[in-house]
Amino acid sequence: MIIMNLAKQFHVILHGDVLLKKLGMAIQALEKQIPMKPTEINDECGYFECPACGDLIYAEGARFEEHKYCLSCGQKLDWR
């Protein structure tokens, strides 16, 4: 949906599925760079959930800020 709206706005002529897939991959990669806050599951034990893929992020003590990205999907994390 986002790709088609961008294509219409900039009068891009899409030639088949190849360009559409490449644009989709580029947008997904850029969206991964927007920091998202992890969901707190158990702060005392250091368990958090990735907001993008839902995988578990484990960090002992105050070391959770060392995890700048999700190890499973690459989503940038915002610990503020």
User: For each of the chain's 80 residues, which pLDDT tens digit applies?
Assistant: 566 666 665 555 555 677 778 888 888 899 999 999 999 888 678 889 999 999 998 877 667 778 899 999 999 999 88
CA separation for the pair 21, 17 (Å, rounded)? 6
pTM above 0.75, yes or no: no
The neighbour count for residue 76, using CB atoms within 10 Å, is 14
Look at residue 16 in the predicted model and tell me its pLDDT.
60
Average pLDDT, the chain: 81
C-alpha distances (whole Å) from 64 to each of 10, 32, 53, 80 are 41, 19, 18, 11
Q: Are 46 and 60 in contact (CB under 8 A)?
A: yes
What is the percentage of the chain residues whose pLDDT exceeds 70? 75
